[in-house]
Amino acid sequence: MSSSNRTGPSPLTFTLTGIPGLPMSSCWMALPLCCLYLLMLLGNCTLLWMIKTDHSLHTPMYYCLFMLAMADLGLSLSTMPTMLAIFWFEATSLRFEACIVQMYFIHSFSAMESGVLVAMAFDRFVAICYPLRYGSVLTSSLLTKVGGVIFMRGVCVVLPVAVLIKKMPFCSSQVLSHSFCLHQDMLRLVCGDVRVSSLYGLTAVIFTKGLDSLIILLSYMMIIRAILNIVSQEARAKVFSTCISHLTAILVFYIPLLGLSIIHRFGEHLPPLTHTLLADAYLLVSPVLNPLVYSWKTKQIRRQILTLLCWRWTQQRV
């Protein structure tokens, strides 16, 4: 197969794929997707607004939650244009440069979210294992530096991936497997040697999600050990309940990510629908569920939401 010429009159474009088995323009998919994105925007923007305006929420745990909501917003907004364009307008073509930009933002915000989950695990570790030192260890200055490191790591670690793939020659077939651009999906369409790009992509994943998941695992091993040392069973349950929201966020982020990584490398024989559903779950479920879980499980946020709803109802009555 011949390599496409990006400098010629016909610019290189990729063809995005909807959900296998469904018509491209389908209200059955477009309406639920719009509802999911609206729910994600409403949930995360509400969290950001409450944490910013309510001074009682200006604590390390809620600063970490603020960063998580920002990462969730970035991750969802990176996929929203192409997904809605496909199911509303059957717009499946995407220019090569736009595809690289989308791929860069998806992987960058994904790395940032992984880093925020590590920061939240450290917050729970200090709160449970060293409660008397919580305020002195997790200062505003430290959290600002941690946020900066998380942001810069997400920005810098993915940049070589975009630079490397921009120089690759692509074959005549440019049909991607998803409704958005992912590095591994683009890499399989390259006609040249992909070893350097593939190796760096794998190294970047190990350095971000692999290292992060190991740190989170070690943190929770020490947290569980500290909880088991508590004599009262009621106190154990109360302490462990403070970790439920964070554990849920970890599971809804890492389980689809792990599944997607495995099937991209070893699941060529699996039906395309499996790839699509895992990729969509990885990029859509976490940003939608996180605000709901934290609003439901966190007393302060739940109280603020109820107060806001009561105030709105009172204003309408007046």
Q: In the chain, what are the domain boundaries?
A: 13-317
Residue 100's nearest CA partner among 165, 190, 174 is 165
As a whole number of angstroms, the distance between CA 295 and CA 69 comes to 12
Q: What are phi and psi of 95, to 5 degrees?
A: -60, 150
pLDDT tier at 202 (50, 70, 90 boundaries)? confident
pLDDT tier at 29 (50, 70, 90 boundaries)? confident
Does 266 or 284 have the greater pLDDT score? Answer: 284
Could you read off the pLDDT of 157-195 as tens digits, one per residue? Answer: 999 999 999 988 887 668 888 889 999 889 888 888 888
Residue 190: partners with Cβ closer than 8 Å, 6 or more residues away: 165, 168, 169, 170, 171, 197
Could you read off the pLDDT of 100-156 as tens digits, one per residue? Answer: 999 999 999 999 999 999 999 999 999 999 999 998 999 989 999 999 999 999 999
As a whole number of angstroms, the distance between CA 4 and CA 183 comes to 19
Does 131 or 28 have the greater pLDDT score? Answer: 131
pLDDT greater than 70 at residue 7: no
Residue 198's nearest CA partner among 163, 166, 164, 175 is 164
- pLDDT computed for residue 72 by the predictor: 95
- Distance in angstroms between the alpha carbons of the first and the last residue of the chain: 71
Lowest mean pLDDT among 195-204, 224-233, 263-272: 263-272
pLDDT greater than 50 at residue 8: no
Does 6 or 296 have the greater pLDDT score? Answer: 296
Q: Which amino acid is at 295?
A: S
Q: Classify domain 13-317 at the CATH topology level.
A: Rhopdopsin 7-helix transmembrane proteins (1.20.1070)
Cα–Cα–Cα angle for 140, 141, 142, nearest 5°? Answer: 90
pLDDT greater than 50 at residue 2: no
